[in-house]
Amino acid sequence: MSCPSSTPSTVISAGLAPVTLPLQFGGDVIQESLEIQLADQIVPTLGERLARLSRRDRLTLLEPAASRLLIAAEIQRLQARHPDLAPMFTVAAEAERAITDLQTLQAANGGFRPWAESGDYTQPFLSAYAARAIAAAERAGIVVPPPLRDRLQSYLQGIANNPSDCPGCTREQRLEALLGLAELGQRRPDLMASLYADREQLSDLGQIKLAHLLSRDPNWQIEAALLTTSLSEVTYNTGRAASLNLPTSWQWYGSATAAQAELLQLLVQQDANADQLQAVAQGLMDLQREGAWPSLYDNAVALSALANYQPNRDISEATVSLGSETLGTFSFPGRYSLSRTDLPRGSSELRIDSDGELPYLAAYSYSLPGPQPGRLQGIRVTRTLQPANSREPIATLGLRQPTEPINLPVGAIFDVGRRNHPRPRRQSY
């Protein structure tokens, strides 16, 4: 006897309204529902996901500690306007734990060790990132022990003056140190000219950060604007979004999310026009998976960028329609969730109209009857079967079960080749 089975799946779209999403209902679906969340805050589901990511990182490590502190600071700042934001993320506890970890990791020279047992080795790049988190915490009203801050500032001054401990990356190290010092309120105009003269030697992400640093100094506004304009060469526009098209970096702090967040920070600082800001913010939102970004670090820098962009948003009303039916009209500030199971058949459109940039999340859940061949989550795998010492395949298989059995002679030797097809770049239309 066989038991009836079904395979549940969910398709999620998150971004900024106003938006129109084409939908197709019906077919072989045996159960389906549509859930929509609206909030005049960043992402309605972000707090729950952040709480899970934070619980997962329990070791005393530098990057997670700095990321937790940065997230706590930005959420506390946002909760001043949205008290119900991220109720599962306890700001006070996360900030206290992060500061305790940073105190444990601080070395005698004031920099931070990547982990507690790494001896006297300190990590300049992540120490500068920690300075950003500490500065954000202070702006949010979180108490940071003065020695933690002062010793770090002294360390970054030394790195800015003499970054020779990092052969091949002295420019990047000096740039990160100057960014960390700027976050702590200390500027070094004496080092700006040499950095700008070597700008072509920096990576694209490094040039974004340099433009961000120059934008903080009133004497370097023209150069900052020129650098920002040149970024159009590595930015592609697809529909409503604008995203950076940069080479993949080996560092997690050079991820696509981090680069997009840095670009948004830069444009906010330079008071870019509303259309450009919305397109870059949408590009950052498009990098989410299941309502959040991949890592704790990605979530921290994305949240920081969107928190700075958030004050530019002023929304009073939004209307949600499915096809010709109006599902509801909502007033803001506030947060709303609605769901439907009696969906129309065939093609339709989900339309969210708002008088400002409104974060939304739409989740379409459905079940297909019977066992399914597997979920292809952006990765395709091809296997080839061929006799030993032969290049001519006798069978090619993907993830789907073959429709016909493959008959092989007994005692023969075969080679099985496997090829992974990388996930294509996300496109918007």
Q: What pLDDT does 391 receive?
A: 77
Q: What is the pLDDT of residues 259-296, one digit of tens each?
A: 999 999 999 999 888 778 888 988 998 888 777 788 88
- Number of structural domains the chain divides into: 3
Pairing of strands 325-331, 31-39: unpaired
227 in the same domain as 338: no
Domain endpoint, select from 270, 292, 312 = 312
Q: Is residue 30 located within the same domain as residue 132?
A: no
To which H or E segment does residue 55 belong? helix 46-56
Q: Please indicate, yes or no, whether residues 172 and 321 belong to a single structural domain of this protein.
A: no
The answer to whether the beta carbons of residues 13 and 347 sit under 8 Å apart is no
Are 10 and 56 within one domain? no
Tally the C-alpha atoms within 13 A of residue 41's C-alpha that lie toward its C-beta. 25
3-state SS of the chain: helix, strand, coil percent to 5? 40, 25, 35
The SS3 of residue 412 is: coil
Question: 3-state DSSP call for residue 410?
Answer: coil
Tell me, yes or no, whether 427 lies in a domain: no
Low-confidence ranges of the chain (pLDDT < 50): 1-5, 250, 374-378, 423-429
Q: Is the bond preceding residue 359 a cis peptide, omega within 30 degrees? A: no
CA distance 132 to 67: 10
428, part of any domain: no
- CATH number at 19 reads 2.60.120.380
Asked whether residue 32 falls in the same domain as residue 115, the answer is: no
Same domain, 144 and 273: yes
CATH of the domain at 51: 1.50.10.20
3-state secondary structure of 91: helix
Q: How many residues does the chain have?
A: 429
> 127, 120, 135: which is closest to 154 by C-alpha?
127
Residue 281 near residue 308 (C-beta atoms within 8 A): no
- Residue 1 domain-assigned (yes or no): no
Distance CA 160, CA 283 (A): 33
User: Is residue 247 located within the same domain as residue 347?
Assistant: no
Q: Are residues 54 and 75 in the same domain?
A: yes
- Token pair, residue 116, equals 């507690």
Task: Assess if residue 429 is contained within a domain.
Answer: no
Q: Which of 4, 1, 31, 28 is nearest to 371 (CA)?
A: 4
With beta carbons less than 8 A apart as the criterion, state whether 31 and 6 touch. Answer: yes
Q: Is residue 215 part of a domain?
A: yes
How do beta strands 414-421 and 380-387 pair?
Answer: antiparallel
Q: Are residues 142 and 245 in the same domain?
A: yes
The domain in which residue 412 lies consists of 380-421
Beta strand extents in 214-315 (DSSP E only) = 235-238, 241-244
Helices (H) and strands (E) in the chain, counts: 12, 13
Per-residue confidence (pLDDT) for residue 148, from 0 to 100: 98
Q: Which of 282, 312, 342 is the last residue of a domain?
A: 312
H-type alpha helices, 295-389: 296-309
Q: Write down which residue in 312, 328, 361 finishes a domain.
A: 312
Q: What is the DSSP string of 232-301?
A: GGGEEEETTEEEE--PPPSSGGGSHHHHHHHHHHHHHHTT--HHHHHHHHHHHHHT-BTTB-SSHHHHHH
Q: Which residues pair with 368 in a beta bridge?
A: 7
Task: Identify whether 18 is preceded by a cis peptide bond (ω within 30 of 0).
Answer: yes
Same domain? 120 vs 242? yes
Of 51, 50, 76, the closest CA to residue 138 belongs to 76
Q: Tell whether 364 is covered by a domain.
A: yes
Q: Which helix (H) or strand (E) holds 340?
A: strand 335-340
Q: Give me the pLDDT at residue 429, please.
A: 35
18: in domain: yes
Asked if residue 187 belongs to a domain, the reply is yes
Q: CB within 8 A of 388, min separation 6: which ones?
A: 412, 413, 414, 415
212 and 319 share one domain: no
Percent of the chain with pLDDT over 70: 82
What is the model's pLDDT at position 416? 79
Tokens of 21: 């999403």
Same domain, 189 and 239: yes
